[in-house]
Amino acid sequence: MNIYDIAKLAGVSIATVSRVVNNSPNVSERTKQRVLAVMEEHHYTPNVFARGLGLDSMKTIGIVCPDVRDAYVAGLVASLEGRLREYGYDCILYCSGYKKEKKEQAVELILQKRIDALVLAGSTYAGGGLQKKETDYIRQAAAQVPVFVMNGRIDGENIYCVYSSDYQATYETASAMIESGRSKILFLTDSHSYSANKKLEGYEAALRDHGLPVLGSRKLYTKNQVHYVRDILLARKDLDFDSVLATDDGLAVGAVKYAHARRLQIPKDLCIVGYNNSELAVCCEPELSSIDNFAQELCGMVIDEMMGLLREETTPPAHKEVACHLVKRCSTDF
């Protein structure tokens, strides 16, 4: 029996149950009595979730991220932490890695802390966006505290998702590549996350809409390590491509290194686009065109909405999409 069940049985929202528990004036006497009756009937004590919605707050937010060594993830954590501090909140950080059981364990452990809300900072938590059971652990967490998911879309009560328009970004970029004369775009990725899958969908849709075939041999899943990517591209002589659309800058730099090793000219012989617009994009030579997904803005939005919710002033939208933007540098010619 959790807040989710109580809300359902009483026919009200989680926010309303919270208001009743917190003795907020913004709830009618009739509703209040109905909620209290359901709670009593089911021997429900509000300790578990009350802590999450105002009662006895430690002013602490849990952040679970896969690996803070990843430049994109580090940017998220830094921005979240900074904005939380502005509101006088602390954060407890868990780095979970990318494995399913480790992610579930991290969420389970952090819920044992007195946190007011939980941020899942990375697309990996949303699973591939294909099977609902992949994300059951998040819906269970949301029965205890509000959960904010960054760069993934999960449906469920008390879950609020903010994500980049990755589909749109790769659709537009692949289309621009095709319209500038490329017909063999290699999709390079290291992930089956929600976000990576959206990027793949956008890429495939662009091919189809331009009458080009979608080929398995034009999609490469690899480790995100510069030399590893270079070497695998050198080894895979069966791959035939005139351009690369990568889901992370590190992967794209690997393609740049491959071009150097093969003495291909960039962008003439090989056009390359990275993702996340990180420091790596300006370190490599030539400098990399890269899709910026405005991670810092995403984080500010998440924390602002979270604070509105915790103060019971506003309810965040369940889903919010933020547009990406291609930053053109020297690895593209469109």
Under rule CB under 8 A, which residues in 156-215 are in contact with a second copy?
A: none
Q: What angle do CA 205, 234, 194 make, to 5 degrees?
A: 35
Minimum distance from residue 171 beta carbon to a second copy (Å): 27
Among 39, 49, 64, 75, binds a second copy (CB under 8 A): 75
State the Cα–Cα distance between residues 142 and 150, nearest whole angstrom.
Answer: 15
Among 15, 220, 253, 270, binds a second copy (CB under 8 A): 253
Among 86, 279, 308, 311, binds a second copy (CB under 8 A): 279
Contact flag: residue 264 with a second copy (CB under 8 A):
no
Minimum distance from residue 91 beta carbon to a second copy (Å): 6
Q: What angle do CA 214, 195, 266 make, to 5 degrees?
A: 60
Among 250, 290, 305, 324, binds a second copy (CB under 8 A): 250
Q: How far is CA 77 from the centre of its chain?
A: 12
Contact flag: residue 283 with a second copy (CB under 8 A):
yes
Minimum distance from residue 60 beta carbon to a second copy (Å): 8
State the Cα–Cα distance between residues 205 and 178, nearest whole angstrom.
Answer: 12
Q: Which residue stretches of 11-111 are H helix?
A: 14-21, 29-41, 47-50, 71-86, 100-111
Which of these ranges, 76-84, 144-152, 191-199, 299-307, lies near a second copy under the rule CB under 8 A? 76-84
Q: Which 8-state DSSP code applies to residue 48?
A: H
Among 74, 176, 232, 318, binds a second copy (CB under 8 A): 74
Minimum distance from residue 184 beta carbon to a second copy (Å): 25
Binding-site size, a second copy (CB under 8 A): 31
Nearest CA among 279, 298, 310 for reference residue 122? 298
Maximal CA-CA distance, the chain: 76
Q: What tokens does 323 get?
A: 């547009």
Q: Which residue stretches of 126-274 are H helix?
A: 136-142, 166-179, 194-209, 226-235, 249-261
Among 48, 50, 78, 264, binds a second copy (CB under 8 A): 78
State the Cα–Cα distance between residues 6 and 12, nearest whole angstrom.
Answer: 8
Contact flag: residue 77 with a second copy (CB under 8 A):
yes
Specify the residue for token string 């331009």.
210
Per-residue interface string for the shown chain with a second copy, residues 119-158, x marking contact by CB under 8 A: ----------------------------------------
Which of these ranges, 30-38, 194-202, 204-212, 248-256, lies near a second copy under the rule CB under 8 A? 248-256
Per-residue interface string for the shown chain with a second copy, residues 79-118, x marking contact by CB under 8 A: --xx--x----xxxxxx-----------------x-----
Nearest CA among 285, 263, 268 for reference residue 332? 268
Among 17, 226, 273, 301, binds a second copy (CB under 8 A): 226
Separate counts of helices (H) and strands (E) for the chain: 13, 12
Query: Which stretches of the chain bind a second copy, using CB under 8 A?
Result: 60, 67-69, 71, 74-75, 77-78, 81-82, 85, 90-95, 113, 226-227, 250, 253, 256, 260, 279-280, 282-285
